[in-house]
């Protein structure tokens, strides 16, 4: 069975990583995957290509869609004749649906990856695409989401699909696992004392992630834990980011915060932490970074966006968005726990991911969906 995945780009976000995990881990004897990026290839393209997954790019410029891209995608789909077209993210949902209709292939499955969007921070084009997708949402065979909250939000936005289905993110528990050696090694590389309390967040620099609230909260945490070290990494999270560096300085955290930029070893970063933090103000569906941290046995302090609370359960702390005081209390509370209680939380977090969100189980759900769609639409 041939599945063509259409996605906006192949950067290092949650949707992109889930797609990479899916196509690399799918049963190759039963499924052939082709990934089409609207934008030029990003960092994850090479990972998929090295695993033997074919990757194509339409070469679009960000924010500049046009009929030429639609024509190229239509020709590609007509040549490939996929059994299922799976699209990821708003712009790819729209272009993939239109191209599949023109190529007369399908069925088409959309994949929603966010919730609680703050449209004041998004471009006009994105707002237009979301509004148009709501009008067209009855045309795909199914609209997937990675969180129940995303379903509710998009119903409020006017989405009326034939059916919604929730398939959460899955996590590679062999890669993301408790690792004492990695913890010691990375702390050594970063010049962090082995016994220092360390909090951190892996996230791109974006208004959605609300770094201002994060830094305000960690400045408060430092009053209770003077030896606190903070590890931050992700696209744009680097010393050359003047706005971020200024925010760090304004909160008096210059000697506590390490800005590491994009990392290829998030599993080692998580292993070095005592608390993983997510300060997002909006937009998250099911934050992958929390699942990865939990798989590494790291308790999480996170804002209540998307399905974060459902994922964390009783293994960490969940607080309202944009509330530095509440986030500080959550982080400090986790850092102050006796060793035995923190170990219990660590084990519970790891077990929760293994039992409910392991990657093989999530991949199996996608494979079952594709088989069902192909059978339903006479493609098998």
pLDDT band at 115 (very low <50, low <70, confident <90, very high): confident
Asked whether the predicted pLDDT for residue 202 surpasses 60, the reply is yes
For residues 330 and 193, membership in a common domain is answered with yes
For residues 214 and 128, membership in a common domain is answered with no
- CA–chain centroid gap for 155, Å, is 21
Task: State the pTM of this model.
Answer: 0.91
User: Rg of the chain's alpha carbons, rounded to an integer?
Assistant: 21
Residue 335: both structure tokens together:
């850092």
Angstrom CA distances, 142 to 38, 160, 264, stand at 21, 10, 34
The mean per-residue pLDDT over the stretch 103-127 comes to: 86
Asked whether the predicted pLDDT for residue 118 surpasses 80, the reply is no
For residues 213 and 109, membership in a common domain is answered with no
Instruction: Output the pLDDT for position 62.
Output: 74
Q: Is residue 139 part of a domain?
A: yes
The mean per-residue pLDDT over the stretch 195-219 comes to: 96
Instruction: Output the pLDDT for position 212.
Output: 97
Asked whether the predicted pLDDT for residue 196 surpasses 90, the reply is yes
pLDDT, greater one: 60 or 182:
182
pLDDT band at 125 (very low <50, low <70, confident <90, very high): confident
Asked whether the predicted pLDDT for residue 53 surpasses 90, the reply is yes
Asked if 232 and 205 touch (Cβ cutoff 8 Å), the reply is no
Q: Is residue 22 part of a domain?
A: yes
For residues 245 and 262, membership in a common domain is answered with yes
Q: How much of the chain, in percent, has pLDDT values that exceed 90? A: 89
Tell me which of 70-84, 120-134, 143-157, 332-346 is least confident. 120-134
For residues 53 and 120, membership in a common domain is answered with yes
Q: Name the phi and psi angles at 359, rounded to 5.
A: -60, -45
For residues 281 and 364, membership in a common domain is answered with no
Q: Is residue 344 part of a domain?
A: yes
Instruction: Output the pLDDT for position 227.
Output: 97
Distance CA 13, CA 9 (A): 9
pLDDT band at 65 (very low <50, low <70, confident <90, very high): low
pLDDT band at 12 (very low <50, low <70, confident <90, very high): confident
Instruction: Output the pLDDT for position 116.
Output: 75
For residues 270 and 306, membership in a common domain is answered with yes
Asked whether the predicted pLDDT for residue 380 surpasses 60, the reply is no
Instruction: Output the pLDDT for position 50.
Output: 94
On average, the pLDDT of the chain sits at 94
For residues 101 and 237, membership in a common domain is answered with no
Residue range of the domain that includes 101: 2-170+358-376
CATH code for the domain of 26: 3.40.50.2000
Q: Is residue 175 part of a domain?
A: no
Q: How much of the chain, in percent, has pLDDT values that exceed 70? A: 98
Q: Is residue 125 part of a domain?
A: yes
For residues 208 and 120, membership in a common domain is answered with no
Asked whether the predicted pLDDT for residue 55 surpasses 60, the reply is yes
Burial of 311: CB neighbours in 10 Å, binned 0-12, 13-18, 19+: buried
Asked if 209 and 279 touch (Cβ cutoff 8 Å), the reply is yes
Angstrom CA distances, 240 to 13, 235, 261, 269, 331, stand at 21, 12, 10, 21, 27
Asked whether the predicted pLDDT for residue 63 surpasses 80, the reply is no
Asked whether the predicted pLDDT for residue 64 surpasses 60, the reply is no
Domain count for the chain, please give it. 2
Q: Report pLDDT digits (tens) over 214-236.
A: 999 999 999 999 999 999 999 99
**CB hemisphere CA count around 102 (13 angstroms):** 17
Instruction: Output the pLDDT for position 123.
Output: 78
For residues 166 and 27, membership in a common domain is answered with yes
The β-bridge partners of 300 are 276
Task: Scan for tokens 């359960």, then name that residue.
Answer: 313
Instruction: Output the pLDDT for position 379.
Output: 60
For residues 118 and 184, membership in a common domain is answered with no
Instruction: Output the pLDDT for position 368.
Output: 97
Q: 358: alpha, beta or left, given left = phi > 0 and alpha = psi -120 to 50?
A: beta
For residues 211 and 135, membership in a common domain is answered with no
Q: Is residue 104 part of a domain?
A: yes
């Amino acid at each position: 069975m041939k599945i063509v995945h259409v996605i906006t780009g192949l950067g290092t976000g949650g949707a992109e990583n889930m797609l990479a995990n899916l196509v690399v881990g799918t049963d190759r004897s039963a499924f052939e995957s082709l990934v089409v990026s609207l934008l030029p290839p990003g960092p994850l393209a090479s990972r998929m290509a090295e695993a033997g997954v074919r990757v194509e790019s339409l070469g679009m410029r960000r924010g500049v869609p046009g009929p030429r891209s639609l024509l190229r995608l239509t020709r590609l789909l007509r040549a490939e004749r996929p059994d299922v077209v799976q699209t990821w993210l708003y712009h790819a949902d729209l272009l993939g649906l239109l191209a599949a209709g023109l190529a007369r292939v399908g069925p088409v499955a959309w994949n929603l990856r966010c919730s609680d969007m703050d449209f004041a921070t998004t471009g006009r084009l994105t707002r237009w695409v979301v509004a148009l997708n709501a009008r067209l949402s009855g045309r795909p065979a199914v609209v997937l989401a990675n969180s129940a909250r995303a379903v509710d939000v998009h119903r409020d936005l006017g989405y009326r699909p034939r059916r919604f289905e929730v398939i959460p993110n899955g996590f590679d528990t062999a890669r993301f696992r408790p690792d004492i050696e990695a913890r010691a090694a990375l702390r050594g590389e970063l010049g962090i004392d082995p016994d220092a309390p360390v909090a951190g967040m892996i996230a791109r620099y974006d208004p959605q992630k609300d770094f201002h609230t994060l830094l305000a909260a960690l400045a408060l945490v430092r009053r209770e834990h003077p030896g606190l070290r903070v590890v931050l990494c992700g696209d744009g999270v680097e010393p050359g980011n003047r706005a971020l560096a200024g925010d760090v300085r304004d909160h008096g955290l210059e000697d506590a915060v390490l800005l590491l930029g994009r990392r290829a070893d998030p599993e080692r970063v998580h292993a070095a932490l005592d608390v993983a933090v997510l300060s997002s103000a909006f937009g998250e569906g099911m934050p992958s970074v929390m699942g990865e941290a939990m798989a590494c046995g790291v308790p999480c302090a996170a804002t209540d966006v998307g399905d974060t609370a459902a994922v964390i359960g009783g293994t960490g702390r969940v607080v309202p968005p944009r509330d530095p005081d509440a986030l500080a209390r959550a982080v400090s509370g986790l850092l102050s726990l006796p060793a035995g209680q923190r170990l219990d939380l660590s084990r519970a977090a790891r077990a929760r991911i293994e039992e409910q969100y392991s990657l093989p189980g999530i991949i199996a759900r996608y494979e079952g969906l594709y088989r069902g769609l192909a059978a339903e639409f006479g493609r098998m």
